Chain A
Amino acid sequence: MANLNQNSPRLLLFGRGPMQQECRMSKSGWKAVAVLVLLVSLPAIAQTEGVIGQEQENDSGSIGHVWRNYAVQQSIEFGDRITENSGNAQMYDTLVNLQSGPRLLGQELSMRPITRGGGLFDTLYLSSFGFGGDPYDMARLRIEKSKWYDFVALYRRDHNFFDYNLFANPLTLNPGITNCSTVAGGAVRPCAAAFNPQADYFYTNSPHLQDTVRNMGDFNLILFPQSVIRVRLGFERNNNTGTVDSSLEDVNIDLSQDMHSRSDRWTFGVDVRPLARTTLSFDQFFEHDKLDNGYVNNLVNPYTLGVGGRSVSIPLYFPPCTVAVGGVPQPYITAPGVLNPLCNTGVFAYSRHDNVRSFFPTSQLSLRSSYFHKLDITADGTYSSGNSKVENYNDLFYGLVSRTNNTAYQVTGPANTDRVSGNADLGLTYHITKTWSVSDKFRWLDWRDPGVFNQLTNNCYSNLAAGETLSTPTGAPCSVPGITPVGVAAAGLTASSAAAYNTLEAERTYFNTALLSWAPSRLLSAFAGYRYGRRELRTAFLSTTVNSPTLAGGLVGPPGVPSTADRPLATDKINLNTALLGIVIRPTVQWRINVDAELLSADNGFTQIAPRHEQRVRANTVYKVNRWSSINAGVHFVESRNNWAENFGGPGVNLFPVVDARAYGTMSHDRYYTLGMSLQPEHHASIDFGWTYMDQRFSIPACMILTAGVVAGGAPTACPVTTNQPTVPATLNIGTGTTPVTQIYQENTHTGYAMLTVRPIHRVTLHLGYDITSTSGNDIWYRGDNGLPLQVLGDAFGNSPGIPGNPGTVITGTTTSAGSIAFLGPFPNQPLGPQAFNWHTLNTGIAIGVAKGITFKGSYAYYDYNEKEGNISPDQLVALPRNFHTNLGTISLRYAF
């Protein structure tokens, strides 16, 4: 349902502030505030774009004009942005994306009646901003006429650009530069034709780049808003189109996706007041979603198979070439843009298309009544029966999947999923006395998603001989409808399979919250309550696959005999008990202190990170100096536990074979500390200041498979095998040979902002603002035996185990060591990236009233993003740094009339 409370971020009317300047703080109060301000240093400040100028605009004296019976005020602001970026432009586009060019920076129109009655409308508000090239644009219209109608229309446009290089370890993008020859005794001789990975496309762009534009419209009309019968009509459209890159399993190539997503929702509602203070409502919703996906292999920078050979898409990371010539390992890349034709992994062509159509009709009945003395009732019930269908699914591949010798395949088949949901809510509040009240909230929700997918696959294989290569698979790729192999005979091995999948996911939830509230006076109030919840999750999975015919080597199962994978209906249940406590103290009218807590205990969790015990404590204080000014401070702690690892291998057998406090299970905390101030001591000046510190940490044990021999110092004793343990869900069974480790993730983030606005003389306003976000942390895995950081061995480029021939890989005769360089594991030498950076923005501006109704504005913004890469040596960093700094100037002219 569109939110009627949506309003422009800017003042609707130019000139006078929204509040009358009648409430000012006393002298003694100001002394206290002055001391506080002096104790706090105010660095240069910045205000984010789009907010600057709010409420502090110069009053150039324009008060609009009268048109018929309306007082009309308008303003329009045209301007231009000038951007100069240095550093990683993709990061700037991802985080800020304000580009050079002219803009409609703002527009407002307000029409209010001088006398009530008559005319097509009572009030009209129209505002917009950002058109012309900003990533965020909005226009909003509200028009209403008292008893007759209230109409709100909202248009929003969001350009979502994401090109954050997600290569967590760019070093393993190294193509496995191998020796051109090996030397007995361990000497290493680099290959003369070493490949420079910085020349490759994938090193400078995100493999999951996104460039989409979302256009959203929300329209809501209320007819007869003051009458006994009220009608509500609404329409929402969400249109999202653009490019979203993805990747394909097995061959790991980058895919380019052309996405079109459109969601339409119609709403019809009616409110009836059959009794005093009682409203009965009925709403009918219809939602229709369209999602059209089209993927193709990304050929932005294709490689050729050998010099002058066929174009081929290469994977996101380059595995070592397993083909050896005369015992000499071969390089994967022989020259920039040239793939070694002897290596196996590459794709000639890939495409995948499907159209998803979904329809969700929902009915809702609601009751709201305070007809009975001291009793407040709300009740709602909804029912929805929706459906989602996949049509025209066609998936084509042509290349070589070296793991299976699959040279081509085509997959088709319809899919269909229903979503049925029912819901009932009941809320009661009984005011026992003026001081005491009780309330109860009950919520029931039951939904299920049964799904069916009938998949038909046609496969072509080479003849499974050893040493198959992408360029010359023996047996030749066969013909698959839609794929025409070039230059090879239509021969080879074929197989097809028909698979039927039936799935179910369903949940039933009950929650009841009972609360006792006590409010003896304005100075104090408190509440205590209890929430009980029960959740039941049901899942089922059944697949039946029939293959024909069988192939040599038994690659595909015997023909005609269905193979099944079955996870019968399983039900997980959770009972949750939560104590609720809170107190509110108001020593003065302006000062409020809140403390509240939620203490949760659950007997189960659907996931390992879902809390079985959780404490949420929040303390907050706000001092409203006056309606324009406030000071606030607070703390917020969330402490969570899930002891899933205890008794994991049976009664008394924890996950880890040794006693380790971290083998308890999941432990996490999120702790926030905040302080903020917003003051407008005079109409001519305002100060905003704030600081927040976030401390986030979680600890989770795991049993991890690592390649044999890579753990520095020897691997700890393996985790206990837990297959078929009755106390352990099947999905959490641990196999043999796993390494006990504990992940500890820590993030500390400081966020600060300050803004100063002064109006030294009439018609001149100055702004100065500064924001900073500074984060640090680490993500370390610890051994489960001695608690020391896990280290894995690899070569100089972070491949673990090391690639033969690379520096750091010791070769002794025919034996290659895992590597001689130890890295913090298990992901060798990943840069901290987003766990260590500083993000600054500085903003300053001036607004000058040059004539009546005309204001000239100029602002300068400086953006600086800097990652702390102290743990990476420069010659190991092959991906471009994500750092950037940008100067952004904006000049504009605002005309109010």
Chain B
Amino acid sequence: MTDSTIQRIFRSTVLVSALFLWTFAGSAAADTPGTSNTTSKFVGSETCKGCHEDQFKSIESSPHYRTNLAKIRGEEVHGCESCHGPGSAHVEGGGDKSKIFIFKGAKPEEVTKRCLTCHESNTEQRQFMRSTHNENGITCTSCHSVHHSKLEYQLVQQQTPLCFSCHAEQKADFQKTFHHPVEEGLIKCSDCHNPHGTVAVRQLRTTPDQDAVCFKCHSDKRGPFVFEHEPVKVEGCTSCHSPHGSTNPRMLTTARTNSLCLQCHAATSAIGHTQNTRIQQCIDCHSNIHGSNLSDVFFK
């Protein structure tokens, strides 16, 4: 074994060890501020208000004021402590941050669990535990702020720029020449995607009968048709269209219609369609390409 090899192994070992130690050191450190003391008791929001008046007022003027009600849906809630946990130890400790749950700096999974305690029954949030956002460490406070937001649904930003703060490539797609009018304000990301997760891939919504969400607006393409263009139903609209935006007309994935059709119909030549003719586009004849009730080759 050469000296250079030994040095590489040594450096790798040091790096891995440092990462290992940093992870668990961080784990121990990170646990401290967010930990709530299970022996603590509830003291009531009025007690919290004594030191945290700004936060108390922000809750009062927000939809979360309901946490100060005695019960919600039959379950007892405790105002501030319904999220931060019982506060007696925190109060007795003179505001000891280690004796109460603090969202800032907490593990995303801990944050998620607390929010879902109340919000899990909502239609929109019910799949969050299995969502792509949750898998990738995005938690409720990544997008919402209970104390600091005056926007609807207590988002930290308007929805569209908030999504774009992570999904920058989609912003680029919506800027292209042919796009869904998200930047114009007519459509939101949440029209097609549920940011809290769905069972479908890419957190896409569906129609009630589990068909593509595209058909909510583009209902004339939905069918069902006597003669289906199979990929539309089987592979989805994205087999031909770029759903966010494209430089190509009709948001197609290619600049020329013929190029798109020939991706699958490379053997259409067997039917006798010579390609070097005056035929401009396949859809000049096959015009009802999303499906037809009247022609098995989508002429009508």
Contact = CB atoms under 8 A, between A and B. Distances in A.
A228 B263 contact: no
10 contacts: A3-B191, A156-B186, A354-B294, A434-B109, A443-B200, A607-B235, A620-B166, A672-B169, A674-B172, A700-B263
Q: How large is the interface on B (under 10, 10 to 19, 20 to 34, 35 or more residues)?
A: 35 or more
Contacts of A835: 247, 255
B27 interface: yes
A138 B276 contact: no
A113 to B, nearest CB: 9
B262 to A, nearest CB: 6
A419 B267 contact: no
A609 B263 contact: yes
A146 B66 contact: yes
B73 A523 contact: no
B276 A6 contact: no
A830 B200 CA distance: 40
A207 B211 CA distance: 31
Contacts of A524: 23, 26-27
B5 interface: no
Given A273-B74, A417-B226, A582-B135, A168 B280 contact: yes
A608 interface: yes
A423 interface: yes
B120 A834 contact: no
B247 A238 contact: no
B74 A207 contact: no
A727 to B, nearest CB: 14
A827 B275 contact: yes
Contacts of A259: 220
Contact of A606 (B117, B227, B235): B235
Interface in A748-802: 749, 751, 753, 771, 773, 775, 777, 779, 792, 794, 799-801
Interface string B239-259: 100000001111001111111
A676 interface: yes
B269 A316 contact: no
Interface in B51-105: 61, 65-66, 72-75, 104-105
Contact of B135 (A265, A515, A694): A515
B150 interface: yes
Interface in A577-624: 582, 584, 586, 589, 592, 594, 596, 606-610, 620, 622
Given A523-B30, A606-B235, A390 B269 contact: no
A441 interface: yes
B176 A751 contact: yes
A75 B262 CA distance: 54
B196 to A, nearest CB: 9
A369 to B, nearest CB: 9
Contacts of B149: 18-19
A439 B129 contact: yes
A419 B209 CA distance: 9
B37 interface: no
B224 A388 contact: yes
Contacts of B40: none
User: Taking each of B120, B137, B248, B250, which has the highest tally of chain A beta carbons within 10 Å of its own beta carbon?
Assistant: B137
Contacts of B281: 166, 168
Interface in A491-521: 501, 503, 505, 507, 515, 517, 519-521
Interface in B25-45: 26-28, 30-31, 34
A249 B295 CA distance: 11
Interface string B176-198: 11100101111010110001000
B235 A610 contact: yes
Given A129-B185, A503-B228, A4 B284 contact: no
Contact of B188 (A5, A417, A439, A527): A5
Given A589-B104, A632-B166, A703-B267, A427 B199 contact: yes
B223 A166 contact: no
A502 to B, nearest CB: 9
B46 interface: no
A706 B185 contact: no
Contact of B269 (A12, A116, A445, A738): A738
B168 A7 contact: no
A208 B280 CA distance: 12
A773 B190 contact: no
Interface in B202-219: 205, 207-211, 216-217, 219
Contact of B127 (A267, A427, A520, A771): A427
10 tightest A-B CB contacts, nearest first = A521-B27, A702-B266, A692-B172, A451-B226, A9-B185, A584-B137, A384-B209, A705-B269, A522-B30, A751-B172
B7 interface: no
A664 B75 CA distance: 62
A82 B164 CA distance: 31
A415 B300 CA distance: 13
A718 B236 CA distance: 34
A856 interface: no
Contacts of B11: none
Contacts of A530: none
A281 interface: yes
A382 B207 CA distance: 11
Nearest to B145: A627
B285 interface: yes
A142 interface: yes
B6 interface: no
A249 B191 CA distance: 37
A507 B234 contact: yes
Contact of B274 (A6, A164, A707): A707
B267 to A, nearest CB: 5
A4 B63 CA distance: 15
A55 B293 CA distance: 50
Contacts of A232: 123
A537 interface: yes
Given A18-B151, A427-B129, A734-B267, A380 B199 contact: yes
Nearest to A6: B188
Given A9-B158, A517-B135, A692 B274 contact: no
A568 interface: no
B10 interface: no
A287 B190 contact: no
B228 A226 contact: no
A634 interface: yes
B247 A775 contact: yes
A702 B152 CA distance: 53
B190 A5 contact: yes
A247 interface: yes
Contact of A827 (B121, B224, B276): B276
Contact of B227 (A451, A674, A734, A830): A451
A856 B54 CA distance: 34
A429 interface: yes
A415 B226 contact: yes
Contacts of B228: 449, 451, 503, 505
Contacts of B205: 1, 3
Interface string B106-144: 111100000011001101101101100001110000000
Given A168-B256, A238-B219, A827-B258, A421 B184 contact: no
A515 B197 CA distance: 15
Nearest to B266: A702
A443 B108 contact: no
B157 to A, nearest CB: 7
Given A419-B224, A589-B105, A247 B287 contact: yes
B224 A451 contact: yes
Interface in A689-717: 690, 692, 694, 696, 698, 700-707, 710
B247 A749 contact: yes
B121 A386 contact: no
B31 A521 contact: yes
A176 B104 CA distance: 74
A48 B161 CA distance: 13
Contacts of A449: 223-225, 228, 233
Contacts of B159: 5, 7
